[in-house]
Structure formats: structure tokens, C-alpha cells
Amino acid sequence: MSVRQPVHCVVRVALDLPLRRLFDYRCADDQQLSSADVGYRVRVPIGQRQRIGIIVAVGVASDLADAELRPVLEVLRDQHPLPDAWFRLTRFCASYYQAPLGQVMLATLPGRLRALAASRTLVRRRPVHDRAPAPPPTLTTGQQMALDTVIADGAGFHAYLLHGVTGSGKTEVYLRLIERALTAGRQALVLVPEINLTPQLEARVAERFPDAGLVSLHSDLAEAARSRNWQAACSGTARIVLGTRLAVFTPLPELGLIIVDEEHDSSFKQQDGVRYSARDLAVFRARDGDVPIVLGSATPSLESWANAAGNDGRGRYRLLSLQQRAVEGARLPLVRIIDTRVEKTQDGLSGPLLLAIEQRLGRGEQSLVFLNRRGYAPAMSCPACGWVSGCRRCAANLVLHLADRCLCCHHCGYQTRLPRQCPSCGNQDLRALGRGTQRLEMILAERFPQARLLRVDRDSAGSRKQWAELLRRIHEGEADILVGTQMLAKGHDFPNLTLVGAVAPDAALFAADWRAPERLFAQLMQVAGRAGRAERSGEVLLQTEFPDHPLYQALRRHDYPGFAAAQLSERRQAGFPPYAYQAMLRAEAPRMADAIAFLAAARDCAAATAPAELSFYDAVPMRLSRRASMERGQLLVESPSRRVLQTFLTDWVTQIEALRVPSRLRWHLEVDPLDL
């Protein structure tokens, strides 16, 4: 079709639709639009509805005749236009993660800015406080060396991996770098993996910089507050932005620093919709904006470790190390491994662990018993006929929640009442299989009736208010024994906590996912780091049937570099990331045969044109093969070259979209998948 020059001014608009195209509209007669209007929101008709879109170009030539172009209904100039840097970031995200550009762009905006009218939310002025900022502590030698390195490198893009043992004072390094950015008249963006880590860090930043206009951005905020904070950042009123993964897209006109705390955490990867990595987008944004970025962790991701200078020869990141704890006199906890083949457990707890808890109770110190499995038990069973409480909608067991007298699926949310008898044979002697945090709490309460127990998991801390109350009780000494999941494993400083006991960690050692050892090591090292962070010495007890396993031995030595080197060597030999680049095509349908057939067709349509450097794996059911009554399959694509993979994926997505699929089949493509 020949291109027609428009009679009216033509505006190109991005809309939140699952289509890989933009949409052309004509300006109304009373609208005087120019290139200066790029980045404003508009209200436009689409089908029988109206939607909010974003102007990406003005005065373009359209393939549509002028009479076919529908008019822009309203231009919303109540906010600052989205800047060029935001357009570059969202375009890169859409391109790299193979997502529709409109969906990426609109998903980054607060909900109120996607509504059908101009936002009336007011931008608050930067607060002014009378109190003086909190005085900074004296830096350790390691902290000072890290800061000196960053300062010596000067302005511009530099990527740093700040590897610091737990309690080494990474946050203080962040605060000094933020101070440097503010002094230079720039803004700072700080990303954290989870909402639960926000209040503590937010409090420290606010205490140090009471007049800096700190705002937070995360999904737990009310829409009005989120919109207000976003606008404050976009206008430059807010100088420090603290947020979870979506905050990486926040427009910051004077950005001067990006910090990604706990950079290894999988929560930085979006698992639905546009499946992006906020950590990796933050690195792109820093490079594009020519500003420094600091990735911090006690257990860096192996991808980041491989990128660090002095390791594996890549040198894309500069490695900064903090090897000592920041509090004077504080030492890394002693890690003891309990061989449960010798020290038999009773109700999952060994004699040495029970004795250690009793000693802490006698000294008025706190203990944490770590079990990363919530609920009372992972399943119920019938010893007479072998029935197990399976979910009727998922390929998973229903978890026993005794306090609520129900069985619950942690994947689809299905719940049912606790059965009085076996639904298969009628036997009334049903038993709990395994242990969760609820059961462990009851066992410890029976063993230590005088102790004050506090369970911390998604059931007890379902809201931010509940979580804040639990933290208050811990800090104010209202609990003697904590029973918790990974919610307590990172980012928290409990001065009176001197003992950590890890129960049943072995299952992850031999999981099918080759990333499982990395996750287990990070999880255990992080939770171990909660012990002995002040003057009192800490101790960690790991119960295992495999005491000689290299992972546990590395934990005993606090040897992350040794563990990482061994893991990277194995991955290089196996051709796994970071020495290969992957994409996963997933499909779900009411019948597994339909999902697998679709994946096979997707593979076949690309087989003839796929480059030699590309490898296809077989289409197979996912590990959780059924979820919410949908059968799920996957197809892995891999290449040693990121460029080759990306070029292929761009063409492949177009071919997949042309396939005929059953009406209820859904599919998505994930680049750099974390869960295999």
C-alpha cells in the first residue's frame, strides 16, 4: 500500500494492547500539536471504547487515508511529558524482552495516569525539617576503600559489584554515595527486591537526608500516594526514589546514581505480563544515562559475579569487597553442621539445636529457626490406602493449614475444608506429611512453654501493617524464638538475635533446576547473617544428612568466592548461563496435547531458518505441569551468542503469532528465564 501524506496532523500513539504496532490518529481541528507534545498522554477511541495512550511521534506519514483516521479526543497536559531517556528505556525493554511496546510503556505508569481523565493529584512540595541529619558513623577500612574507588573513577557510567558479607555496612556505602549525588545536584534511584525491605531502608535514608524529598514506589502504596510520588520524581521535586522493580522506569530528569540492593534476588524479575529483569534494565539505564550504578549483595548472582573484574576475565563490573562486619567487635557467626544421620531428630529438631535454643533462652537472647515452608504440613495422607491431599486444579499437593482448618493450594489459591476422613477409603486416621512453619511453631511451644514464640511467614505477615508490627515486636524484645521463612533471611538487623537454626535444607541440593544450589547457598548465607550482628557472637546450626557436601562446607567457611568459582566452572562445562543465553516459550491449554503440539509447531516453523548457533530443546511439560486447571508445557531455546538469539527471537515471535492455535491456549516468551 502506498504511503499517503496526511491532510491533518497525524499523531502516533502507543496503547496498552497485546499488539506489536503503534496506532495513528489525526489531530482535531482545534489541536495544535508539535514534536514538543511527544510524551504527553492522550485519550483516543479504539473500537467501541476509549483508552489512554502515549504520544510517540507527531506529524508522521500514515498508511491510512485521512478519512480513515480517527481523532484524538483529548491531550492530557496535566503532567510533565515523558522524557527521551524514558522512551529509550521502554523501547529497549520491549525489544530485548520481545514485548509489545505499548504494553511496556503503559505498564510503567501509575494506575491513575492510565485513567480516562486528567489526573488531579497534587505534587507535594519538598518537605523541610528543622532537625539536623543523623551524623554518619565512622567508616571501616573496607567501606572507605570502596568509596575512594568510586570517587576516583569520577563521573559517568561505571558499574560496580559491591560484595559485602552480611553486616558489613553496604547500606552506609549507599548512603555516602547518595550524599555525593545530592551534593552534585543530582537524583538517586535505589531499588530493593521486596516491599518488606523498604521500611527499614526508607527509615535510614530519611534519617540521614531529612530534607531530600525522599519518596517510595511499590505496589503496596495506595494509588493516590503512588501517583503523587511518581510525579514528584518526574518533576525533580523528589531527589531520592526508593522502590521495587517497577521503579526502574520512573522518569528522573537529573538522575545521577542507581543502586540495586540485594541484586541477586529473583524478585527483580517480573514473572507475568512483561517479563523483564529490573536489575538488568537498571544497568542499561545507567549506561544510557552515563551515571554510575552499584549492585550490592552478600551473595551476588553468578551472572554478576562473572561480570566482575578479576573474575572469569570479563571485567564488565568493578568488584568492591567488604570482608569485615561494620560494628566494632562484631564477627561473622560460627557455622556448625549437624549430621542428622548421627544426631537423630525428634519432630524435625536435633538435640544440639534444642540445647542451643535453651541456652539462648537462659541468656535472654533471641533464636531464629528457619524453615522455608509455610503452613502446618506440605500435605495430608492416609496410611491405609495411600491417598494424598492433591489439588484438583494443579499438579501439586494441598498444604495443611491447621489454624484455619483447611487445605490450601499455594499455586492457584484453591481451598477446601479439612476432611474428617479419607475421601478415598473412609479411614479417619489421617496424618500430616512433613512440617511447615505452623507445625514447627507448635512443636517449639510444647518444648519451650515458657518462651515467647513469633512466627513470621506470608500467613502471619500478609500486609505491610502486620509485617511492621512483627518487626516492632522483634526489635523491642517481645519474642524469644522466631520461626520464619525467607522473609526473615535478608536485610534485617536484630541485635539480640544470636542463634540461627536451619531445618530441612537438603531438598534443594538435588532439585531438577540447575539454579537450585545457587539459590540455596544465597538463602542460607543470608539467613545465617542475621546472627550476631552486634557485639554478641552468633552461631548458625545447619541440620543436614549430607554434611560433606561442598555447598555446606563453603557456607561453613563463609566462602562465597569459592562457591561461585566452583559453580561457574560447572556451568561453563555444561554450557549454562552466564556462558549461554536462553529464551523459554511456554504454553498452557486445557489439554497437554494441545500445549505440546503448539510448541512443536513453533519449533518446526523456525527450524528451516534458525542459525547454526541456535539450539532447540524438546517441548516438554513444565515441572508444575498443571496449574489452575491448565496444562503447561515449555520449549527452551539457547545460543552462546546473545546477538544471535535476539535476532532470531524477533523473527520467531512474528512466525509464532501467525500460527493457528486453539481458542483457550495461551502462550508467552520469556527471555533470560530464571525458573526452568
Residue with cell 484438583: 392
Question: Phi/psi at 334 (nearest 5 deg)?
Answer: -75, 125
| pLDDT attached to residue 194 | 85
User: Grid coordinates in use for 449?
Assistant: 512453654
Q: How many CB atoms lie within 10 A of CB 205?
A: 21
Give CA–CA dist 245/276, Å, rounded. 9
Give CA–CA dist 533/333, Å, rounded. 8
pLDDT in tens, 250-296: 999 999 999 999 999 999 999 989 999 999 999 999 999 999 999 99
Question: Phi/psi at 187 (nearest 5 deg)?
Answer: -100, 155
| Alpha-carbon radius of gyration of the chain | 27
Residues 6+ apart with CB under 8 A from 408: 375, 398, 399, 401, 414, 415
Give CA–CA dist 168/175, Å, rounded. 14
Beta strands in 186-323 (DSSP E): 187-191, 214-217, 240-243, 255-261, 293-297, 318-322
Task: Report helix, strand or coil for 27.
Answer: coil
| pLDDT attached to residue 123 | 44
| Complete DSSP assignment for 213-225 | -EEEE-TTS-HHH
159-164 vs 318-322, strand pairing mode: parallel
**In order of start, what are the domains of the chain with their CATH numbers?**
10-83 (3.40.1440.60), 141-322 (3.40.50.300), 334-376+435-570 (3.40.50.300), 581-671 (3.30.70.600)
pTM, two decimals, is 0.93
Q: Which of 486, 52, 468 is nearest to 299 (CA)?
A: 486
User: Grid coordinates in use for 647?
Assistant: 535476532
In which residue ranges of the chain is pLDDT below 70?
A: 1-8, 117-131, 309-314, 329, 491, 533-534
Give CA–CA dist 430/321, Å, rounded. 53
| pLDDT attached to residue 201 | 86
Task: Report helix, strand or coil for 659.
Answer: coil
Q: How many CB atoms lie within 10 A of CB 77?
A: 12
**Amino acid, res. 290:** D
Answer left, alpha or beta for residue 611, where phi above 0 means left and psi between -120 and 50 means alpha. beta
Give CA–CA dist 556/316, Å, rounded. 30
Q: Which of 589, 588, 628, 590 is nearest to 412 (CA)?
A: 628
Segments in 558-624 forming alpha helices (H): 560-574, 592-607
666-671 vs 581-589, strand pairing mode: antiparallel
| pLDDT attached to residue 467 | 83
DSSP conformation class of 145: H
User: Grid coordinates in use for 283?
Assistant: 544497568
Q: How many CB atoms lie within 10 A of CB 166?
A: 25
User: Grid coordinates in use for 182?
Assistant: 545530592
| pLDDT attached to residue 135 | 80
| pLDDT attached to residue 115 | 81
Q: Which of 420, 375, 381 is nearest to 401 (CA)?
A: 375
